[in-house]
Amino acid sequence: MADLRVFRWRTDPNTGRTVYAQPGDEPSDEDILIGVMDTPKLARAVVTEHNAARRARLDCAAALIAGAEAGNA
């Protein structure tokens, strides 16, 4: 199974309670089901926190790579 932390997460457009991992750039029927939350508010909070943490990991990785490349110049 794929490491779902690497993907952007989203909620479904209908109930807003279902959370999916989105491997592609756009939502699709092929997105991976994470689970169903009790409320849309909770689902939005989970998605927001996950996507913020994912962005922070990506930014940190980019900074480490840039620093390593600068040290090799």
pLDDT confidence bin for 69, thresholds 50/70/90:
confident
Query: Between residues 39 and 60, which one has the greater pLDDT?
Result: 39
Taking residues 22-41, report their average pLDDT. 96
| pLDDT score of 1 | 64
For 3-10, the CB contacts below 8 A with 24+ separation are 4/32, 4/34, 5/50, 5/54, 5/57, 6/54, 7/32, 7/54, 8/51, 8/54, 9/34, 9/46, 9/47, 9/50, 9/51, 10/47
CB atoms within 10 A of CB 47: 20
Check pLDDT > 70 for residue 22. Answer: yes
* Residues 52, 57: Cα–Cα separation, whole Å: 9
| pLDDT score of 70 | 78
